[in-house]
């Protein structure tokens, strides 16, 4: 009997919310983790929506699949998906799977998901009136009698809703609409053929506007600011400081309220996705269904005093939640393997006994899921070319070390074991010179392996030879 697939996607949720000591309430995701494998060091292939989502679908880094930035931020002839690249959903449909996609797509502009392996699809961002109206209504629904904030800094920009509480019912919001469609799809499946269902919500993406029911759950929980909150960025790229100034007028309580609303949104998602999982159990489909829960990228959420994901390469932005459960998958297993979101493409095909897609940048980690092997994947790589502001960034993790190439300023180098909050940039530390040189050599190796020729082939551009060691060093 072929296995089913339920892919539960969220938008801008950082992996820290699933950490054991975190105050965010996720009972259904915790239950799912007990039935499967939770990855504590999963990272996104790219820290913004479109490139990250295209990487999940193709198993390729953005420079290879073509979607190098968020599609709606550039002209129509830029950041286009290379349609000759295969998607895992295409393989499933060819093998007789009934495939369905509900919610935020944001992989490419046509919104014609049939071309990419999906038999039916609804509620796509930018194409579905129902989705657009629900999202707009939600942003306009802040109850101004409750704590709320509109960002009005610097002067000259429009006020932007940032956090608040809404009285909208979950069923009216995108998270509720998507959850309902997924349940309807599962209910109508008769079991005569395997299926793959992808549910993709926009929450907990900013603005952080939570439903009052879930906001109230955090009334008696004392939330704290991150340890890195007061980072003065003295040893970090200057653009980080410029971004931080946007939030300089926020009070400590504003930051706490932002975290509270974000956590409430996560708990609401947990509640809705829990309903889908419960339905699988009721129908007797749970034991034959691979369930994947993850996010496209993370959210800074006041770490280092900043928000969103567009400028920096901190762990809150790149580290994503990832839980996978299902037949043959180990139960209640924790992994510190350095897996990437783009690795989900070959892993899905591997778990569902499909033919592999060749010549991609990612690898299956089925062995981590289905055997006792753990903590053997010790390297990961991500890339970023900026959003609106073009900031070329490449990020390499190797064991406990993290190297960030910044094409716009000096680089960053952190030891995540001794400095998990990334307070001290060791890029100029003589004590860590050998480790830094090793990481730069590994970085060049990743560029060569993945064909990132725009910053690998610099021999004819002397002024761009800005690293202390070149690719032939």
Tokens encoding 398: 């190797």
- 3-state SS class at 410: coil
Q: Of the candidates 372, 389, 406, which is a domain's last residue? A: 389
DSSP 267-315: HHHHHHHHHHHHHHHHTT-GGGEEEEEEESS---TTGGG--SSSS---H
Give the pLDDT band (50/70/90) at residue 190: confident
pLDDT confidence tier of residue 283, bands split at 50, 70 and 90: very high
Query: Last residue of a domain, which of 363, 389, 415?
Result: 389
- Kindly report, residue by residue over 404-424, the tens digit of the pLDDT: 999 999 999 999 999 999 999
Exposure string for 314-352, b = 16+ CB within 10 A, e = fewer? bbbbbbbbbbbbbeebbeebebebbbbbbbbbbbbbbbb
CA 459-62-464 angle, 5° bins: 20
Burial of 373 (0-12, 13-18, 19+ CB in 10 A): middle
Average pLDDT score over residue span 44-71: 98
What are the φ/ψ torsions at residue 406 (nearest 5 degrees)? -115, 110
Omega before residue 340 within 30° of 0, cis: no
What tokens does 74 get? 């550039």
What is residue 229's predicted lDDT score, i.e. its pLDDT? 98
Are 324 and 448 in the same domain? no
Residues 161 and 99 in one domain: yes
Please give the average per-residue pLDDT across 347-359, as a whole number: 97
Q: What would the two tokens of residue 353 be?
A: 């006994």
- Above 90 in pLDDT, residue 373? yes
Q: Note the pLDDT of residue 278.
A: 98
pLDDT value at residue 309: 96
Q: In this structure, what CATH number is given to the domain that contains residue 68?
A: 3.40.720.10
Is the domain of 173 the same as that of 256?
A: yes
**pLDDT above 90 (res 228):** yes
The average pLDDT across 117-139 equals 93
* CATH for 405: 3.30.1120
pTM above 0.85, yes or no: yes
Q: What is the mean pLDDT of residues 17-45?
A: 98
Do 20 and 145 reside in the same domain of the chain?
Answer: yes
Confidence (pLDDT) at 472: 87
Instruction: Provide the domain count of the chain.
Output: 2
Give the Cα separation of 9 and 167 in Å (integer): 24
Q: Is residue 290 domain-shared with residue 304, that is, in the same domain? A: yes
3-state secondary structure 94-112: HCCCEEEEEECCCCCCCCC
User: Are residues 384 and 472 both part of a single domain?
Assistant: no
Statement to judge: residues 229 and 196 lie in one domain: yes
DSSP 157-210: SPPEEEEEEE---GGGSHHHHHHHHHHHHHHH--SSS-EEEEEE--TTPSSEEE
Confidence of residue 340 (pLDDT cuts 50, 70, 90): very high
Q: Is the alpha carbon torsion for 384, 390, 392, 397 positive or negative? A: negative
Residue 242 shares a structural domain with residue 218 = yes
Mean pLDDT across the chain = 96
pLDDT score recorded for residue 465: 85
**Domain end (from 389, 411, 442):** 389
Tell which residue, 367, 358, 359, 305, has the closest CA to residue 339.
367
| C-alpha to C-alpha distance for 262 and 256, rounded to whole angstroms | 10
Please compute the mean of the pLDDT values over residues 164-193 and round it to a whole number: 95
CA atoms within 13 A on the CB side of 315: 24
pLDDT band at 80 (very low <50, low <70, confident <90, very high): very high
Instruction: Provide the CB-side half-sphere exposure for 317 (13 A, CA).
Output: 23
CB burial of 257-295 (b: ≥16 within 10 Å; e: otherwise) equals: bbbbbbbbbbbbbbbbbbebbebbeeeebbeebbbbbbb
Structure tokens, 435: 């480790």
Q: d(Cα 226, Cα 251) in Å, to the nearest integer?
A: 15
For position 298, what pLDDT does the model report?
98
pLDDT digits (tens, 9 = 90+) for 33-52: 999 999 999 999 999 999 99
First-residue to last-residue Cα distance in the chain: 52
Which residues constitute the domain of residue 459?
392-473
198 pLDDT higher than 90: yes
**Backbone φ and ψ of 73, nearest 5°:** -95, -5
Split at pLDDT 50, 70, 90, the class of 371 is very high
Name, in order, each residue with C-beta under 8 angstroms of 76's C-beta and a sequence gap of 6 or more.
109
Cβ burial of 153 (10 Å; 0-12, 13-18, 19+) is middle
Q: How many CB atoms lie within 10 A of CB 434?
A: 9
- Same domain flag for 299 and 436: no
Instruction: Give percent of the chain with pLDDT exceeding 90.
Output: 92
pLDDT for the residue numbered 384: 98
Same domain as 396, residue 365: no
pLDDT value at residue 131: 92
Instruction: Lowest mean pLDDT of 36-45, 296-305, 457-466, name the range.
Output: 457-466
- Say yes or no: 29 and 71 in one domain: yes
Residue 284 and residue 414 in one domain: no
């Amino acid at each position: 009997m072929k296995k089913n697939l339920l892919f539960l996607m969220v938008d801008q949720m950082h992996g820290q919310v699933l950490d054991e000591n975190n105050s965010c309430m996720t009972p259904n995701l915790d239950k799912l983790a007990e039935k499967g494998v939770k990855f504590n060091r999963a990272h996104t292939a790219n820290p913004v929506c479109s490139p990250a989502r295209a990487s999940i679908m193709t198993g390729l880094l953005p420079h290879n699949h073509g979607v190098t930035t968020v599609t709606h931020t550039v002209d129509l002839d830029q950041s286009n998906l290379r349609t000759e690249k295969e998607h895992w959903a295409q393989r499933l449909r060819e093998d007789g799977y009934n495939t369905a996609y509900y919610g935020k797509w944001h992989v490419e502009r046509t919104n014609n998901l049939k071309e990419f392996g999906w038999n039916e699809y609804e509620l796509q961002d930018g194409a579905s009136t129902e989705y657009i109206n629900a999202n707009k209504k939600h942003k306009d629904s802040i109850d101004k009698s409750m704590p709320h904030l509109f960002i009005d800094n610097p002067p000259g920009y429009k006020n932007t809703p940032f956090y608040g509480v809404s009285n909208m019912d979950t069923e009216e919001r995108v998270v509720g609409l998507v959850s309902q469609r997924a349940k309807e799809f599962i209910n109508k499946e008769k079991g005569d053929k395997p299926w793959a269902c992808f549910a993709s919500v926009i929450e907990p993406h900013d603005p952080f506007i939570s439903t009052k029911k879930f906001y109230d759950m955090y009334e008696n929980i004392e939330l704290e600011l991150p340890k890195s909150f007061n980072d003065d960025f003295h040893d970090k790229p200057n653009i980080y400081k410029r971004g931080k100034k946007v939030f300089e007028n926020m009070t400590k309580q504003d930051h706490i309220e932002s975290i509270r609303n974000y956590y409430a949104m996560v708990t609401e998602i947990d509640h809705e996705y829990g309903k889908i999982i419960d339905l699988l159990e009721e129908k007797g489909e749970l034991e034959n269904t691979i369930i994947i829960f993850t996010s496209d990228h993370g959210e800074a959420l006041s770490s280092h005093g900043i928000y969103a994901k567009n400028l920096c390469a901190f762990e809150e932005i790149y580290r994503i939640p990832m839980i996978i459960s299902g037949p043959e998958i180990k139960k209640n297993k924790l992994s510190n393997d350095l897996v990437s979101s783009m690795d989900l493409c070959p892993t899905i095909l591997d778990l569902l006994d499909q033919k592999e897609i060749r010549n991609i940048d990612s690898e299956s980690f089925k062995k981590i899921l289905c055997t006792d092997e753990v903590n053997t994947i010790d390297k990961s790589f991500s890339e970023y070319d900026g959003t609106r502001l073009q900031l070329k960034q490449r990020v390499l993790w190797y064991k406990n070390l993290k190297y960030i190439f910044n094409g716009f300023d000096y680089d960053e180098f952190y030891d995540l074991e001794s400095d998990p909050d990334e307070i001290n940039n060791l890029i100029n530390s003589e004590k860590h010179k050998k480790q830094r040189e090793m990481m730069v050599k590994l970085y060049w190796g990743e560029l060569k392996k993945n064909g990132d020729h725009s910053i690998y082939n610099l021999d004819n551009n002397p002024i761009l030879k800005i690293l202390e060691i070149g690719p032939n060093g």
